[in-house]
Amino acid sequence: MPHNNFIIATKTISAEVYVFDYSKHPSKPPLDGSCNPDLRLRGHNTEGYGLSWSTFKQGHLLSGSDDAQICLWDINGTPKNKSLDAMQIFKVHEGVVEDVAWHLRHEYLFGSVGDDQYLLIWDLRTPSVTKPVQSCIAHSSE
């Protein structure tokens, strides 16, 4: 996370996103292979790859997934049970969302790209999670 270099997020095959404060974990993993994240983020149905921390809004994390969804979390209000549901889920792509990225100059804008060949631009100031502000066919195959 840009505002705290000790906070890292990882994607999992279980569809959850794990968040760790690595200052609180040993430098070597446990011998039993157990994984104990500080926070589990829920919202996706399948695994995926894309993650992006906002450089403007501390704790805001985007994730794209094979379920064709984009999830947005604000980890600042971490619940006591260590699990957090997405605060918004965007559903427009018709295939895998390969990557997501926050705009570097505008705090409310982010982009997503998918196997459906589309580049979508989203504005969080608009109420719709099903209609991006811009879309274009960006490539001709996966």
Cβ contacts of 5 within 8 Å, gap of 6 or more: none
Which pLDDT value is given to residue 31? 87
3-state secondary structure (DSSP) of residue 110: strand
Calculate Rg over the CA atoms of the chain.
15
Which amino acid makes up residue 47?
E
Distance CA 117, CA 124 (A): 22
Q: Please report, for the chain, the start and end positions of each structural domain, with discontinuous segments joined by +.
A: 7-137
Q: Among 74, 141, 87, which residue's Cα sits nearest to residue 113? A: 141
**What is the pTM (predicted TM-score) of this model?**
0.92
Mean pLDDT, the chain cut into blocks of 10 residues (142 residues total): 91 94 85 89 96 97 97 86 93 95 97 96 90 90 70
Query: Per-residue b/e over 66-104, b at no fewer than 16 CB within 10 Å?
Result: bbbbbbbbbbeeeeeeeebebeeebebbeebbbbbebbe
CATH class of 7-137: mainly beta
pLDDT at 53: 98
Q: Give DSSP secondary structure letters for 14-27.
A: TS-EEEEEGGGS-S
Q: What integer pLDDT is reported at residue 138 of this predicted model?
A: 86
